[in-house]
Amino acid sequence: MADAAPYYYDKLTWPEMKRAVAQRRVIVLPVGSTEQHGPHLPLDVDNYLCQCVCEGAARLAPDETLLMPPLSYGFNWHHIDFPGTIGIAWDNYVRFLLDIVRSVAHHGFRKVLIVNGHGSNRPLIEVAARQATMDNEVICAAFSYFELTAKTLAEVRESPRGWVAHADEIETSMYLYLRPEGVRRQLAAPENNMLPSEFWWQDVQDGGRIGMMEWWSTFSSTGVLGDPTLGSAEKGEVLYRAAAEELAKLIREFRERPIRPREDHH
């Protein structure tokens, strides 16, 4: 196997890929979105942060991981009123994921993790993971990387409930740590014009009790939902390291998880 990049899927040759299958490596597929993130962050936030977390985990578990190229477009039509956003139809997105899992399953991989960096992809990646597991001899799991760091996020955040949602304290912090030159700090400003509700609010850690998504431009003039001025590289480092470490632990456990035979009770 190539020494320079032992865990990058697309850097291997096909004979090296055969050895990766024999090593029972876990396929890790980062998925994100190309969309607006306010005036202060670039459109690649969801992709870049997710990819960095997955790369960090792969460095911690290099012998167990095979990191695929990221899927950089997602289900985000609610952001389309802001220039630059690229949206993918939900059914195209699910079918695309199913084709990817079908391909790696055909080659002999049996464990697939879809790691998400964009909130509205969440229901679609779960559908895809469940269907892929039914269609192939694999176990496929799907989740957002920030779901792995709930405890750390709660300790780090200064934003109140409903203020960690988009281009916020957390995303700004992680970008400040991982690629500080990409943050236009002088343009960062808080915004939250959500209608008050007992049942629905946006927050990646403590969201409302019902699922609903309105057009983003109806409650945000800048594209921001949160307070990016609270962001710091120090917070970003803590969050990034926690996410990478938890993902590496998950990869190791997932690799050893047995695929038990099904039993038809008809």
Q: What is the pLDDT of residues 27-46, one digit of tens each?
A: 999 999 999 999 999 999 99
DSSP the chain: --SS-TTBGGGS-HHHHHHHHHTTPEEEEEE--B--BTTTB-TTHHHHHHHHHHHHHHHHSTTTEEEPPPB--BS-GGGTTSTT-BB--HHHHHHHHHHHHHHHHHHT--EEEEEE-SGGGHHHHHHHHHHHHHHSSSEEEEEEGGGGGHHHHHHH--SPTT-EEESSHHHHHHHHHH-GGG--GGG---B--PPP-SS----SSS--SS-----GGGT-SSS-EE-GGG--HHHHHHHHHHHHHHHHHHHHHHHH---PPP----
Q: What is the pLDDT of residues 230-252, one digit of tens each?
A: 999 999 999 999 999 999 999 99
In whole angstroms, what is the distance from residue 76 CA to residue 158 CA? Answer: 27
Is residue 198's pLDDT more than 80? yes
In whole angstroms, what is the distance from residue 252 CA to residue 266 CA? Answer: 36
What is residue 1's predicted lDDT score, i.e. its pLDDT? 39
**Topology adopted by domain 9-194+215-256:** Rossmann fold (3.40.50)
Q: What is the pLDDT of residues 118-132, one digit of tens each?
A: 999 999 999 999 999
Q: What average pLDDT does this structure show over 208-215? A: 90
Work out the mean pLDDT of the chain and round it to a whole number.
96
- Domain segments of the chain as ranges: 9-194+215-256
Is residue 111 exposed (0-12), middle (13-18) or buried (19+ Cβ within 10 Å)? Answer: buried
Banded model confidence at residue 4, pLDDT cuts 50, 70, 90 = low
Q: What is the pLDDT of residues 147-191, one digit of tens each?
A: 999 999 999 999 999 999 999 999 999 999 999 999 999 999 999
What is residue 211's predicted lDDT score, i.e. its pLDDT? 85
Banded model confidence at residue 2, pLDDT cuts 50, 70, 90 = very low
Q: What is the pLDDT of residues 43-97, one digit of tens each?
A: 999 999 999 999 999 999 999 999 999 999 999 999 999 999 999 999 999 999 9
